[in-house]
Chain A
Amino acid sequence: MPAVSGRRLEGERDVEGNPVIELKHISVAFDGEPILQDLNLSIRDGEFVTLLGPSGCGKTTTLRIIGGFVNPDAGDILFNGKRINDLPPYKRGVNTIFQKYALFPHLNVFENVAFGMRVQKKSEKEIRKTVKEMLEMVSLSGYERRSVHRLSGGQQQRVAIARALANNPKVLLLDEPLGALDLKLRKDMQVELKRIQQATGITFVFVTHDQEEALSMSDTVVVMDKGVIQQIGSPQDIYNEPRNAFVADFIGESNILDGIMVDDFLCEFAGRRFRCVDQGFAPRESVDVVIRPEDIDVVSAAEDCLTGVVTQVTFKGVHYEIIVDVNGFKWMIQSTDCQRVGDTIGLRIQPDEIHIMKKSSYSGLFGDYSSFSDEMDEEPSAPEEAEEA
């Protein structure tokens, strides 16, 4: 179950800052294959924005467009309200942290961090001062003369961060920066990056395929698939109010069922009618119904609730993952109580745990755990390779 950070209140993202980067009607195709289609995105000053999606969804391309490494076929990129389509990367006020750090192998830690300032012909005194500050910020003081080959992955990552921040960018672009680190280090770096972002107030645009990373670090999450933005919102919005079956499935686990809105606040699925909190649909409109596995209460089988047979139970540490067959549709339930395979149990769902979505092109593709197995549930851990030609 993804850990939703409780630090931020809903709606908080809307208050601060003017747009620093705007993408307007951006389209890109590589070799005739569309990568981004009419993408619109506005990023506010000081915001931590995450572009989240599976491999090949266009998130890295979006980042490279902002960085100046890819020219869109159509559309405008605005930086502080000014069009920067034709500005080469070295003239843009943004800096990038690359997927594999891309440190300069022929330079030591000090010279790597100093690179941007040397290019700008800053004074030696200023360079020394800034490099010292930057290395302190990423806890690498004393490593100045170290060759970058002799650093661990996490340390190389820190050098890359220091190198980018030494240029004092308005916006920092991070392309799956934690993808190559192991789990423990990744968690530490998530906290570290968030701390640096809050300390410096720099706008972060962060690319990842890891939904948990996105939810726990961001002010705003942009969920992408097939070159199209599926939903933009705060982590809470994205998790609690997914806009379609793709978002519901990609962010956390979801049971997604075909349903019908019988009336305002009344829907029908799994052969039963349920009270819910949604309204404003056409009479008897077909909808997708999302119920999160942790929102289902297991009760003893009774006439007035859904009943099903437990087919699989997996211990996950914090909870058990229980697959229940209800008239052929397999539900996933996350519960701290263990159930026995073969038992018949009852499922109870509160009205505010039922989330209704309009039908979309993703309807029917996700949300049934019939073919569920642990192997299939594995996160795609390999960093994106196919996305960039």
Chain B
Amino acid sequence: MKSKAASAPYLVWMVLFIVVPVLLVAYFAFTDSSGAFTLENIARVGQYSNVFLRSIWLGALSTVICLVLGYPVAYLISKSSLKRQSVLLMLIMLPMWMNFLLRTYAWMTLLEDSGLINSFLSLLGLPPFHMINTQGAVVLGMVYDYIPFMVLPLYTVLSKIDRAVVEAAQDLGANGRRVFLRVTFPLSMPGMISGVTMVFVPSVSTFIISKMLGGGANLMIGDLIEMQFLGSAYNPNLGSAISLVLMVLILICMGIMNEFDSGENEGGGMMI
């Protein structure tokens, strides 16, 4: 009974700021501007399928890059001495202390056609390199902004792996590579799952990064939704419908991932 009472404030918070808004989004998605029930908004979402595909593609690409870059970093941090670990973790977190917008602006000035990087290239006598307003710039921005969310859960899981289990693998004849492939990597799966979730979800629904680094040409779902609420195309009902579809898509992605995770634990089989 006591623990239930302690969770009451959060329950109230959750109902007010999570459950009610979600219900509101659903309500708006299924009504028109006069408040009558309609499926038209949901049907109209279909015409933006290219935006959805682009968002999922760029989000997935950023997530994979974050995983490939973040895993070795997390692994090395977990292997270093305790004192060093806290310094390295601090360095990973440091950019997050700066305002998100400011960080993205910084990339704009770096990537612009007359920006810092191109000025430097021309100093070296090299031709300018067009970077801003490309999908590459959007992915770069997302990787830069979200990689700490990949490194931190991976580091947590990797540093918690029992040293005795690694020693047992060595003892049974596994060299460094085999210990990693057969023990460390499978045991870090939960960290990968949460890292991928924490990078993929905000990447898919981002709007500032794509707007600032991608220009108008690389519209993402987040931008589309923003336009319906704050922009020229004002249509909160359509915006809600897009949000709802995005939510369902993300839920499906997460469901598939969790299935994969639990399958890994139950079967006990080797992924590699």
B165 and A120 form a contact (CB under 8 A):
no
| Contact residue among B162, B165, B167, B265 (Cβ-Cβ distance under 8 Å from A69) | B167
| Docked-complex contact A88 and B170, CB < 8 angstroms | yes
Tell yes or no: A157 within 8 A of B by CB: no
Contact of A119 among B165, B172, B266, B269 (CB under 8 A): B172
Docked Cα-Cα span, A103 to B165, in Å, equals: 6
Task: Assess A106 versus B187: contact at CB under 8 Å? Given A90-B173, A116-B173, A119-B178.
Answer: yes
Q: With a CB–CB cut-off of 8 A, which chain A residues contact B265?
A: 106, 147
B173, B174, B264 pick with most chain A CB within 10 angstroms: B173
Cross-chain contact of B173 among A69, A107, A167 (Cβ < 8 A) = A167
Main secondary structure of the interface of B (DSSP, over half): helix
Q: Is the CB of A104 within 8 A of B169?
A: yes
Is B171 interfacial (CB 8 A cutoff)?
A: yes
Contact of A90 with B171 in the complex, beta carbons under 8 Å: yes
* Chain B residues within 8 Å of chain A by Cβ, number: 24
Asked if B186 and A119 sit within 8 Å, CB to CB, the answer is no
Q: Given the interface contacts A106-B186, A119-B178, does A90 sit within 8 Å of B164 by beta carbon?
A: no
Number of interface residues of A (CB under 8 A): 32
Inter-chain CA distance A83–B137, complex, in Å, is: 58
Known: A106-B187, A106-B265. A95 touches B172 (CB 8 A): yes
B39 part of interface (Cβ distance < 8 Å): no
Say if the beta carbon of B183 comes within 8 Å of chain A. Answer: yes
**Given the known A-B contacts A102-B164, A107-B268, A147-B268, are A119 and B171 also in contact in the complex, defined by CB atoms under 8 Å?**
no
B165 touches A89 (CB 8 A): no
Q: How far is the CB of A334 from chain B (nearest CB, A)?
A: 40
Name the CB-closest residue of A to B186. A106
A105 at the interface (CB under 8 A from B): yes
Q: Are A89 and B171 in contact (CB under 8 A)?
A: yes
* Binary A-proximity of B43-64 (CB < 8 A = 1, otherwise 0): 0000000000000000000000
* Chain B: minimal CB distance from A158 (Å): 15
- B182 within 8 A of partner (CB): yes
Determine the chain A residues whose CB is within 8 A of the CB of B186 once the complex forms: 106
What per-residue 1/0 map shows which CB atoms of A90-124 lie under 8 Å from chain B?
11001110111011111110110001101110000
8 Å CB contact of B167 from A98, A110, A111, A145? A98
Tell whether, in the assembled complex, residue B268 and residue A108 are in contact, meaning their CB atoms are under 8 Å apart: yes
Residue A163 is within 8 A (CB to CB) of chain B in the complex: yes
Q: Which residue of B lies closest to A106 (CB)?
A: B186
Residue numbers in B under 8 Å from A103 (CB-CB): 165, 168
- Contact present for A67 and B171 (CB under 8 Å): yes
A115 to B269, CA, bound (A): 12
Cα A67 to Cα B170 with chains together (Å): 10
A128 → chain B, closest Cβ, in Å?
15
Bound CA–CA A99/B165 (angstroms): 11
Closest chain A residue, CB of each to CB of B170:
A89
What 1/0 flags go to B181-194 for Cβ under 8 Å of A?
01100110100000
Q: Which of B164, B169, B189, B266 contacts A115 (CB 8 A)?
A: B169
Contacts of A118 in B (CB 8 A): 182, 270
A104 near B165 with CB under 8 A, answer: yes
Cβ distance A300 to chain B, nearest Cβ, rounded Å: 59
Instruction: Assess whether B3 is interfacial by the CB under 8 Å rule.
Output: no
* Bound CA span A98–B165, Å: 9
- Could you tell me which residues of chain A, from 62 to 106, have a CB within 8 Å of some CB in chain B? 67-69, 88-91, 94-96, 98-100, 102-106
Find out whether the CB atom of B164 lies under 8 angstroms from the CB atom of A98: yes
Do residues A111 and B173 form an inter-chain contact, with CB atoms below 8 A?
A: no
Enumerate chain B residues within 8 angstroms of A104, measured Cβ to Cβ.
165, 168-169, 183
B265 (CB) vs chain A CBs: closest residue = A106
Cβ of B81 under 8 Å from chain A: no
Q: Is B232 located at the chain interface by the 8 A CB criterion? A: no
Give chain B nearest CB distance to A80 CB in angstroms: 18
Residues on A with beta carbons closer than 8 Å to the beta carbon of B171: 67, 89-90, 94-96, 164
Contacts of A115 in B (CB 8 A): 169, 172, 174, 182
CA distance A164 to B172 in the complex (A): 7
A100 CA / B186 CA spacing, docked (Å): 20
The interface of chain B, by Cβ under 8 A from chain A, is: 162, 164-165, 167-175, 178, 182-183, 186-187, 189, 264-266, 268-270
Could you give 8 example pairs across A and B, Cβ below 8 Å? A91-B173, A95-B172, A104-B168, A106-B265, A110-B268, A115-B174, A118-B182, A164-B171
Chain A: residues with CB nearer than 8 A to chain B?
A: 67-69, 88-91, 94-96, 98-100, 102-108, 110-111, 115-116, 118-120, 145, 147, 163-164, 167
Question: When A and B form their complex, which 4 residue pairs have the shortest distance between CB atoms, in order from nearest?
Answer: A108-B268, A102-B164, A116-B172, A102-B168
